[in-house]
Amino acid sequence: MSFWHFTVEASYFIAAVLFIVGLKRMGSPKTARGGIIWAGAGMVLATVVTLWHPAMEAGVGRYFLMLLAIAIGGIGAWISGKRVQMTAMPQMVALYNGMGGGAAAAIALVEMYSGAAWAHGTTVLGLAVLGAIIGGVSFSGSLIAWAKLEGVQKKTIRLPQQHLINGGLALATIVLGLFIVTADSSTPVLVTVLLLATLVLGVLITNPIGGADMPVVISLYNALTGLAVAFEGFVLSNPAMIIAGTVVGAAGSLLTILMANAMNRSLANVLFAGFGVDDGAEAEGPEGEMKSVEAFDAAASFAYSDTLIIVPGYGLAVAQAQHKLWEFVQMLQKEHDVDVKFAIHPVAGRMPGHMNVLLAEAGVPYDMIYDLEDINAEFPTADAALVIGANDVVNPAARTDESSPIYGMPILDVDKARECYVIKRGKGTGFSGVQNALFFGDNTRMIFGDAKQVCTDLAAGLKQL
């Protein structure tokens, strides 16, 4: 083994260690930022070393194109990453994840178009085809997920006999892939048809899925992208791609399972049930009168409470109200000696950890933030609960109404608190399109308005007391 070859392989090993350490550190909000830096350093090392790989047979022109592509991608990602709002982070994750799947598919296609994949043998060729299928589906499916979350696609499209169409196309794609694997040489026409079939399949699979399930779908496509990258790592004999793809695939799979369990739904139900209603559809649930109060009255109730549990949701993120909320909470703690805790549902917001990041951004200490299983037992003894922009994750119909689409989903038991206040912009339903029984409860009072302005008014109300 030459010195350069040893250096490259050793660097790939170090990069793999950095990936794993980074992923481990991302498991806690306290170390997540450092984890991203560690994993990023591993990616930079793997990329730089690859450019010096002994097997890299590229002239000056090709090196220029590669560096130009890295510069364009890096600058674009830096600018978009700096500008993106926290509310738009899920769709950015979907978009970037789709690019990863597309890149994996592109590697496979290049190897097959050139005929190089056949030189590696049937096993490697099979992995190339499998990576192309998975990467293509992840690419187009992630773009649909992005369009739904970004609001570009406002309508959920469901075809007649949707599952039959999807199953038929999936079967045809697999058969075509097997035919390519057993072919004697490169068949550009069939490879092109395979590419188009995978892209259409990704669109057809994702289109019928309602918006409430998009976070789970994004996580699933993230896992598929990692798997595709690992397969293409075998095709290119690149250990860094194999390890990084395997780690991403495993992590994405675990996250998908955890999110599905948090909604008490199977992955098959997420993919094939079409959960979530279209815009303008009739919402299911109770009817009655929502009792509203002014922010000052709510502030007075909180000031004379011993315990308050706050449940943040997507409405908090949209209004960018986390800083004003934290100012209000600090006043309650310092001036009225109220014990305040934050309760986070596993699927609050649009992606796992969404609310944790928002609260950390405002300076909320980690020891004030509790997960569902740690906080639910405290709601019956809490003097008050404050829900800010959350909907489906606090809907008691999930416990009591067997006909509800969200029945069985674990929720935060805010309705069991002595008093419950809900900050909400209007009277609409949540992301699932299901009406919330909490809003009509005897112990519930609604504070209508923009969350940021309401939090400002709550703080002003405390000052008047």
List active site positions: 392
Q: Cα(118)–Cα(126) distance, rounded to whole angstroms?
A: 10
CB 174 within 8 A of CB 198: no
Q: Cα(364)–Cα(342) distance, rounded to whole angstroms?
A: 9
Q: Cα(37)–Cα(32) distance, rounded to whole angstroms?
A: 9
Mapping DSSP to helix (H, G, I), strand (E, B) and coil, where does residue 371 land?
A: strand
What are the two backbone dihedrals, phi and then psi, of residue 446, each rounded to the nearest 5 degrees? -95, 135
What are the two backbone dihedrals, phi and then psi, of residue 115, each rounded to the nearest 5 degrees? 85, 0
Tokens linked to 236: 């290119």
CB 308 within 8 A of CB 302: yes
For tokens 């395997």, what's the residue?
246
CB 382 within 8 A of CB 307: yes
One-letter amino acid of 263: M
Which residues touch 71 (CB under 8 Å, ≥6 apart)? Answer: none
Largest CA distance in the chain: 83
Q: Cα(14)–Cα(4) distance, rounded to whole angstroms?
A: 15
Q: Cα(266)–Cα(210) distance, rounded to whole angstroms?
A: 15
CB 115 within 8 A of CB 128: no
Q: Cα(175)–Cα(429) distance, rounded to whole angstroms?
A: 43
Tokens linked to 226: 């990692």
CB 445 within 8 A of CB 293: yes
434 strand-pairing partners = 284
Mapping DSSP to helix (H, G, I), strand (E, B) and coil, where does residue 412 land?
A: coil
Residue 284 is given by DSSP the state B
Q: Cα(203)–Cα(240) distance, rounded to whole angstroms?
A: 30
Separation of first and last alpha carbons in the chain: 78
Tokens linked to 239: 């250990």
Q: Cα(59)–Cα(81) distance, rounded to whole angstroms?
A: 33
